[in-house]
Chain A
Amino acid sequence: MTHTALTRSTLAAALALGLAGPAQAIEYGTLDTTASKVGFRYTQMGVTLDGQFKQFSAQLRFDPARPEAASTTFEVPLAGIDTGSPEGDDEVKAKTWFDTANHPVARFVSSAVKPLGNNRFEVTGELSIKGKTRPVSFPVTYTPGAPTATFEGALPLRRGDFAIGEGDWASFDIVANNVDVVFHLIAKPLAQ
């Protein structure tokens, strides 16, 4: 009896592995920059506004079998910022905002990925904007797929921590301190 049950479960496991095999083997390693979207959500006197980063690039590794080993270095050239109005796009390049002449790129480098269950992960790392580096962590939802997987989430930050908006803009009465970087990333399999 015991012997038969064991064989059966072994067989079931082998079948499951066999069936799941091709999907499990996918390790994601290339960001589809055309299909992905990275934007930000901010609040101005109670009005929620959405902006987009028109340029970004990433190095990433994600193996569904070993998610805790996943890593990414994500870069956003800030010249490609779209605040929603041409006037705003010019303004945020100024010294008081991102100072893109001296700090052209915002960068996130991951240090740890913690599985939270249900295809959710907490990603920890360091965010560098305008010459200031701060530790951040945020949840990411992973949706498996073949050939592409989706990673979605929002990274909350305080613009004051990075001196984004100085001088007249430093007060949070008009433009709020809290900003969410919202992302919807499409990852392609690692190039063989």
Chain B
Amino acid sequence: MTPRYTSTAIALHWLIALGILASFSLGLYMTDLSLSPTKLKLYSWHKWAGVTLFALIVFRLGWRLTHPAPALPDTMPPALRLAASAAHWVLYALMLAIPLSGWLMSSAKGFQTVWFGVLPLPDLLAKDAALGDTLKDVHEALNFTLLAMVGLHVAAALKHHFIDRDTVLTRMLPRFRQS
């Protein structure tokens, strides 16, 4: 039997992947809307999703640090292993930095983040329109960097599966049928 990620790691990976896909698309869509109750609702949902994802990512990072990933195949050249490892840590860093930048942007723009309309997050920055615009650019740039990194991540996974024909992709796939 080839080494697999733990089922917790697998569940977190796919849950967070779905969450990122949803909130990224929502973010892209909502910013172009003209002001309406729907727009305000979508912004709130996006912010709630961001806080939720941040919490999940912190938990996942903790899990990852206490449950090492299965070793990469011996056939991989050292430079590629290093690149793979670096790319994963960049992904983690982006997944933390993106919700943080969104939260800071909200504070600077004067809109406090209240998780699910119930739990207020402190405003770490005072209202500052210019800083808010800068943070918006930062949030956007980080997101497009993440998009590029996810593209690389998916391409690498597919290369492992279809070209290298190793287990790097399948060890992260959920096993629906347990025999």
Interface residues of A (CB under 8 A from B): 44-50, 84-85, 87-88, 90-91, 168-169, 171, 173-175
Contact = CB atoms under 8 A, between A and B. Distances in A.
Interface stretch (B19-27, B37-45, B79-87, B96-104): B37-45
Contact of A88 (B35, B37, B44, B112): B35
Contacts of A91: 35
A90 B112 CA distance: 21
B114 interface: yes
Contacts, number: 45
B35 A45 contact: no
A85 B109 contact: yes
Interface of B: 35-38, 40-41, 44, 109-114, 116-118, 120, 127
B41 A174 contact: yes
A46 B118 contact: yes
A169 B38 CA distance: 10
Contacts of A85: 109-111
A47 B111 contact: yes
Contact of B114 (A46, A84, A88): A46
A137 to B, nearest CB: 30
A175 B114 contact: no
A169 B127 CA distance: 26
B36 A45 contact: no
A136 B120 CA distance: 31
A175 B112 contact: no
Contact of B112 (A48, A169, A171, A174): A48
